[in-house]
Structure 1
Amino acid sequence: MEILDILIIGGGPIGLNCALEARKNNLTYLVIEKGTIVNSLYNYPLYMRFFSTAEKLEIDDIPFISTAPKPGRQEALEYYQGIARQREININLYEKVLKVSKAGDIFNIETSKAVYKAKNVIISTGFYDIPNLMNIPGEDLPKVKHYYTEPYPYAKQKIVIVGSSNSAVDAALETYRKGADVTMIIRNPEISKSVKYWVKPDIENRITEGSIKAYFNSEITEITDNAVIFRDKNGTINEIENDFVLALTGYLPDFEFLRSSGIELQGDCLNPMYHPETMETNVPNLYLAGVVCGGKDTHLWFIENSRIHAEMIVGNIVSGKESGGKTRESKF
């Protein structure tokens, strides 16, 4: 069996960047992706636009041409999937990594289809696969959705949106404009400060004028077939009629997979341990790249500021680990 120089888990933008960096350095590599190329982006809302401009989303200095100041989901899919095709990146799709273990200096990577061996492993799995659950009665009802794609199914429906981040605000505005009766249940006292600056005034104005109802400092306690029950800022229990709940409360990395791979997790945010200059974890030759590095704090890392991880990791591998393989605690 061939022993790869690098096996990369996750075919998102950062995983693809790691593959390109490996090839530039004449290292044998394979990317394993459980879905399609840049699977998380594929599952984003259909009309989502990035916060950043196109040049900040580029990988390997390949120009990202966008017709708008801020590229959208479809343009990003064309860009990243186009790179995978044109550069003939070695990637296996619809294959899930089940287990990473180590025997001596070699990793064994078990997937849903095969077993691979590699000298180094990069985990670049993002965080979009596991919803941050509310853990309340009724959350498993069919009317509760943790992902939002487009507004049309919610026309003329009474919907409750949980959260106040970009995804929640986009969903609230889009569904309202397609005829939904929208109520937002927000745990915090205001709309998140991280909401895109050109969208934030829109949602605040719609709330102020009453077009979209919002309950701040509030929390859902139960979901039933026909209603949502929540506690408001005064501690009063309220019940409102409801057809759909969009629980857009964020997403989490697969912490169990990280633990089973031997990576130590620290603190309340379960920050994975890694060396900030090499991205090597407490397991020698096992690296992290991209959003997964932030633990529960999924707002630390983006495509824009984690593109550099590929160069850091591959540079460390090529240099023979001049750091001596020692791992410091995460700076977070």
Structure 2
Amino acid sequence: MANQNHYDVLIIGAGPIGMACAIEAKKANLSYVIIEKGALVNSLFNYPVFMTFFSTSQKLEIGGVPFVTINPKPNRNEAVEYYRRVAEKFDLKINLFERVQQVVKNEADVFEIKTSKTDYTAGNVIVATGFYDVPLLMNVPGEDLPKVTHYYKDPHLYAFQNVVVVGANNSGVDAALETYRKGANVTMVVRSGELGPHVKYWVRPDIQNRIKEGEVAALFDSELVEIREGEVDIKTPEGIKTIPNDFVIAMTGYQPDFSMLRKFGIDLPESLCPAYSEETMETNVKGLYLAGVVCGGLDTHKLFIENSRVHAEMIVRNILG
């Protein structure tokens, strides 16, 4: 009897790029399944509730489905809704809340995949897991306290609280401005001497003016060195500064799950940029492909939805040979 759980292509990750890969596989009449450890477009679901994308809606489109928004730049809620509608339109086969635990190649050159729920086999595997899984830790005492988060969601939680925001790129600046506007007493702790170079151009003047007016405190060339229940220690050019604190929002960035990539047999040099062909997206393991932001390793500013949508076509073209 044929194996019910065998597919031409098994895709890990139901983000926009994983979905784009499924759409291309479906167009090519390849059998496929997407396995996703969380919700549909899980990373976008975990973005801040009021986040606005840098990209226009047109650049976020997949599968040729128009992404219509009132404003040129869509927000997180519109994106989550759009990708859900795309999944419905193409009737994509997606298994949610199922974690891939193991991917190994057997003697017959077929991938055996073990998940938290069942086992699969596949001729090809595409890893489209993004980079939002593993926060870059500060490695300071108290980082494991419940009041510390690496994922900022909704500013209302922080109303009238003493909040420290670590980082000055988009996520840090958004968190600082939004919590300040909900009545938080905000202090930004910035390792370098200035705001991040990638801060959205329409947001930069806002945060600069809030800092200038003293409405948001900003400590540049500084770092958080210890977190305690009611206060934090910050190392500044003038020495250690201790301030009262209720919450720490650590927007220190994220990285792909490198241990998972290694476990799958993908070569990871010292740069932590996974080994793959830029023509085919195939890794050093034949039939195992990378798609989307996961390809960039630690350089998470290099690849976005708009410039990695093409990976789906490249991979399926290579699979078809």
Q: Return the TM-score normalized by structure 2.
A: 0.97
**Which of the numbers 128, 153, 168 marks the counterpart of 1:149?**
153
The equivalent of 2:274 in structure 1 is 272
Asked whether 1:294 is paired with 2:276, we answer no
Partner Cα distance (1:134, 1:200) in 2: 25
Give 1:113-262 correspondences, 5 Å limit: 113-234=117-238, 236-262=239-265
Give the match for residue 68 of structure 1: 71
Structure 1 Cα separation of the partners of residues 236 and 297 of structure 2: 30
Determine the C-alpha separation between the residues in 2 that align with 1:201 and 1:59: 33
The AA in structure 2 aligned to 1:216 is: F
CA distance in 2 between partners of 1:205 and 1:115 (Å): 55
Counterpart in the other structure of 2:37? 34
Q: Which amino acid aligns with 2:14?
A: G
The yes-or-no answer on 1:314 pairing with 2:316 is yes
Distance 2:70 2:273 in 1: 37
Q: Distance in 1 between matches of 2:89 and 2:21?
A: 16
Partner of 2:211, secondary structure, is helix
2:88 is aligned to 85
CA displacement, residues 289-319 of structure 1 (integer Å, 9 cap, x when unaligned): 0011111111111101000000000011112
Measured in 2, the distance between the counterparts of 1:189 and 1:317 equals 48
Secondary structure of the 1:6 match is strand
Deviations 1:214-258 (CA, angstroms, capped at 9, x unpaired): 011111111011111011134x11111111000111111111000
Q: Distance in 2 between matches of 1:115 and 1:279?
A: 25
Counting matched residue pairs gives: 317
Q: Give the distance between the partners of 2:317 and 2:214, measured in 1 at CA.
A: 55
Superposed displacement of residue 143, structure 1: 0.7
Query: What secondary structure is seen at the aligned counterpart in 1 of 2:237?
Result: coil
For residues 22-78 of structure 1, give each alpha carbon's deviation from its aligned partner in whole angstroms, at most 9, with x where no partner exists: 011110100001111101111110011100111000012111001111101111011
Out of 267, 271, 285, the residue aligned to residue 283 of structure 1 is 285
Residue 267 (structure 1) shift: 2.4
- For 1:79 and 1:5, the matched residues in 2 are separated by 27
Can you give the 5+ residue segments of structure 1 that lack an aligned partner in the other structure?
320-332
Residue 310 of structure 1 aligns to which amino acid in structure 2? A
Letter in 2 for 1:168: G
The alignment-based identity, stated in percent, is 59
Whole-angstrom CA distance in 1 between matches of 2:120 and 2:286: 18
* In the alignment, structure 1 residue 109 sits paired with structure 2 residue 144: no
Aligned-pair RMSD on alpha carbons?
0.9
Q: 2:59 aligns with which of 44, 56, 61?
A: 56
| Aligned residue number for residue 324 of structure 1 | none
Task: List alignment gaps of at least 5 residues for structure 2.
Answer: none
* TM-score, with structure 1 as normaliser: 0.94
1:325 alignment partner in structure 2: none
Give 1:51's aligned amino acid: F
Deviation string, structure 1 residues 82-115 (Cα, Å, up to 9, x no partner): 1111210011011000111111310011000011
